[in-house]
Chains A and B, each alone.
Chain A
Amino acid sequence: MTDESTKFDDEVRSASAQKTSRGWLFLVAILAAAALVAAIVVISFDKRTYYFTVAEAAPQLVDLRGQRFRLKGMVEQDSHLIREGTLDQHRFTLTESGAQIVVDYQGPLPDTFTDESDRTEVVAVGTLRDDGIFEAEEVSAKCPSRYEGGAPTAESQ
């Protein structure tokens, strides 16, 4: 079909098609957007994780028992222990302005994790046990690095 005849067809058709085509387009767009927003809202309630720093979590440890959340703090110097007889059951202390929470974790720690200084920032995701120890499922360490780099994350699930 040549360009001209296409154009002619279009002109003839557009008079009637214009309104309906705009209409369904808008309707579908709005429906799709609404569905997406609804999905985001629903899934956000389902899959969100609370996020506390050690200083925020320490005063409300009793309330947080049994809860799953994400905990951020600095590794206390020389606090990293490995359970005797194992090689991957770790315990270390996270601190922040005087507050402390002990973390248990089984699995690989990220390469950037170290307790040789008190400057390693760690984010742990897990559950607070009844004895007040935070049992982590995932530990990520952020070194105050000046490099561009990927995520040194460690997971164990």
Chain B
Amino acid sequence: MHFIGASALSLALGVCIATIVLGILAGRSGVRRYAELARLGVYVQFGLVAIATAALLHSFVNADFAIKYVAGRSDSRMPLHYILSAFYGGQEGSLLLWTFVTAGLGSLAAHVNRDNMPRVMPWYAAVLSATLLGWFCILNFVTPPFETWFIASIPGDGEGLNPLLQTPLMVIHPPCLLSGFASAAVPFSFGIAALAARDTGTSWLKAVRSWTLVCWILLSIGNLLGGMWAYRELGWGGYWAWDAVENAALIPWFIATAFLHSIIIQEQRGMLKRWNVVLVSLLYLLTLVGTWMTRSGFIDSVHTFAESDIGHYFLAFLIFMTSISVCTLILRWKDFGSEREFESPASREAMFLANNWILIGMAAVVLFGTLYPNLAEMVFDLAITFGAPWFERLTIPLGLILLATMALGTILPWRRANLRSFKRHAIPASLATLILAPGIAALWWFTRGHKLGATPSAGGLALSVIAWVLIVLNGAILVQEFAGGIRARRAGTDRGVFSALMLLFRKHRRRYGGFVTHIGVLMIFFAFVGNAFKVEDDITLSVGDSAAIADFTVTFESIETKTESTHVATLAEMTLYRDGERVDSLRPARFDYNNYDRMPPGTAGDPMKVTSEIYIRSTPLEDFYVTMINYSSDRDAAAFKIEVFPFTPWLWMGGFVLILGTIICLWPEEDPVSAEYRRRRMHDLARIGGVVLCLFGLGLVALLPGTAAAQADPFDGMGVQEILAADVPLTSAQSRNAERAFNMVMTTCEGCAGKTLTLASPGCVPANMDKQRIRYFASLGMSTDEILDLFVEERGESAVAIPQKTGLRRVSMILPVVIVILGLFAALFAFRSSLRRTGVEAQPAIAGASSGAADSLAGTVDDELLAELRDEIAMGS
């Protein structure tokens, strides 16, 4: 498998280089055949990465510990879904997944748009491949995922996955965030391609908007799940710590949000063209910056990946991509002027622009706060750091201004507002806010809030109040928008409210989907408001004791210990009372994984010894959060951290609504004119889906564990002692074969893990059983290789110390180099032939060519293309 995987990656590198060259050629010359080849190149890269990904998955599922990466991250006892999360649990796997997602989404985008934007698409293929080039280089030369052990040190079992990561959330969170990062390459490719081709037409706008939305939703889900994981698993009582790794994922999210708004201005008003291309480039470059920050060890984060020299490659790649973007931008700056000017600050576009500035300000603040401590140390030798208070002091006010522009942006019309319509929109919503905001707040405070006993700071309280008022105002405006829309749809018909709402979503998906997303954002802000009122306490209780927090009383009832297969669980049983009435039982726990420790010391770090299992009692308005910090050795007392988080459940609900809204936005718009076209497109999509499914199916077939050895077990039904005592007569040649096999077969014995049968201790039963089996097979006249094949078939490649296919393995080492050289030659050749062609072809631009131009091309382009050109011109006129 490692051979297949490694060669697929090497081939992909070659194809990638070829695609870049072809894409540029096609973009410059407009030759259709090159463009199609370039598109094909994108597909092929995806296919090859898919093969490599499938190969690595296969190795994980089959526990092929001959591959270092597999052995370092999984063990044979893990359930399948954790094996899958182990797949991207490390540097190599996550980079492979990243490449897979970029290539996959990139191919999909190339396919969907293959008939649109004839001038943009070749450039798109080239830029997309350029973004992939960096990953392919890293995967081939820096951190190859398929690297194998040196002979005879193959471990018998892997090292397992960190227990903190063994949670379903961690199965989804990293691939989501990674996919979010990876998908930023698609809008970026469209952006640079549009610059190169001087085309930002309707199809381009649609493509770049949809793919940024895909990137945005993946980032949103990834960040939300990360927060959820921190909140539920880590037990430090929060969902966001402003850690460098979290910030790295938040910065692109801000930029993507800004872009999704400003692209609407370009669509509606033909303005901000340069700005949008700058934003989409920034989005991509900042994902690279984030990855570089966190993987190079430059930033001191509590999470960082294994520090590696990969940072230099990232930095080089980052500089390369930045220079490409900057150069293209400068070259095309003049071609992308605004069609119109801003007319008034009281307009929707002005609000969108303000929203852009704020979001970019927030991204800048977070980036600065993350990077500055290190820069300050490097430049001024000043050792400082910014904690959560610094970030919050800056981002919260910006967030509030953002909420204000959100409200104004929704009610103000494009171009310029007139006072009457503004009043019509603003007055009802403001009146509703004047009544509802204090009303609801007072209701909460007098029924619930004051009982919590929270002591918010004056500043915190002021910010919460402002945030609350803005949330209610925005909510009222959205309700008004929906009500207005529904009223308009119902006017003169007998439609019900619900069907009118559905119609609204169907006819104006983006507008109303966007509003739903805004509702999600408001809910998330509402959860933030609750932070000012949180209550916490550290208490130590003996069994039977009680403690009071807010208006709750907790009684520590009992503590018990359970032994599970991988850990010892210590579970506390507590009862929660409110106003003297029992409301719930709480069961925080600590899991001791000391038996789990099977990692050789000094290799890669300590495993978690003990993890806290938090107990959260969630009600619609608040979370009651209990962490067991420690327990006494005689288990009659335990220390707990108890927190009450008002409104926090709204964060996850808001996240859900936000995702729902984005899905509504992403749903393809209905366009009656192109219904036929769309049907065709659906067929295409189905076809791609089919191909992808087949690829995955192939991968899955490969994933099926190898069938057991065809050779029947000769000792079936015999007892251990009988087998060991059995005498197998061998000729001297057969005996030599058997001895050779002893040297190569790994023992399955845990005590002698990592040794061959020859080296295993003489009394080792599993080893001696295997020796007997080998003698038996040898007595049947089997060669050493045939015996080894049997073992490999039965136990996977790890059963044999010396990789069998030495020839192939050597090839897999040389292959990348050969391919790169071949790729370079191919590129050179293609370039030369293109020079020859472009020398004769004077600008054979497809669009807008006159028939004379088409004729003048006769002889230089092939007949098929010429026929197509003529057709197009005929259709155009």
Give the interface of A toward B (CB within 8 A). 10, 13-14, 17-18, 21-22, 24-25, 28-29, 32-33, 36, 39-40, 43-44, 46-52, 56, 70, 72, 82, 86-88, 106-112, 114, 116-117, 119-120, 123, 125, 140-157
Contacts and interface: CB of A to CB of B under 8 A. Distances in A.
Contacts of A10: 340-341
A14 B340 contact: yes
The main secondary structure of chain B at its interface with chain A is: mixed
Interface stretch (B512-520, B606-614, B780-788): B606-614
Nearest to B631: A87
B266 to A, nearest CB: 15
A74 B472 CA distance: 49
Given A109-B629, A153-B234, 12 more contacts: A44-B390, A56-B383, A70-B387, A87-B637, A106-B538, A107-B629, A111-B611, A111-B612, A146-B72, A146-B604, A150-B226, A156-B538
Contact of B384 (A29, A48, A88, A146): A48
Nearest to B342: A21
Interface in B194-241: 226, 229-230, 233-238, 241
B385 A86 contact: no
Contact of A82 (B377, B606, B630): B630
A70 B538 CA distance: 23
5 contacts: A14-B341, A24-B345, A107-B641, A108-B236, A108-B629
A56 B601 CA distance: 29
Contacts of B300: 72, 123
B304 interface: yes
Contacts of B162: 145, 147, 149
B89 interface: yes
Interface centre among A48, A87, A120 (most CB of B within 10 A): A87
Interface of A is mostly: mixed
6 A-B pairs with least C-beta separation: A87-B639, A88-B639, A47-B390, A144-B605, A108-B629, A87-B630
Contacts of A143: 605-606, 608
Interface string B342-376: 11010000000100010001001100100011000
A48 B385 contact: yes
Give the interface residue-count category, chain B: 35 or more
A74 to B, nearest CB: 12
Nearest to B401: A32
A51 B383 contact: yes
A143 B307 CA distance: 12
A47 to B, nearest CB: 4
Nearest to A46: B393
B357 A108 contact: no
A25 B342 contact: yes
Contacts, number: 195
A52 B317 CA distance: 32
A149 B302 CA distance: 9
B427 interface: no
Given A123-B302, A148-B305, A87 B387 contact: no
A152 B609 CA distance: 13
Contacts of B536: 157
Given A36-B364, A86-B639, A146 B305 contact: yes
Given A106-B538, A148-B174, A153 B302 contact: yes
Contacts of B165: 147, 149
Given A32-B361, A44-B386, A155-B238, A88 B226 contact: no
Given A18-B341, A152-B302, A116 B606 contact: yes
A29 B226 contact: no
Contact of A117 (B241, B304, B387, B601): B601
B387 A148 contact: no
B627 interface: yes
Contacts of B365: 36, 40
Contacts of A119: 605-606
Contacts of B383: 50-52, 56
A108 to B, nearest CB: 4
B234 A151 contact: yes
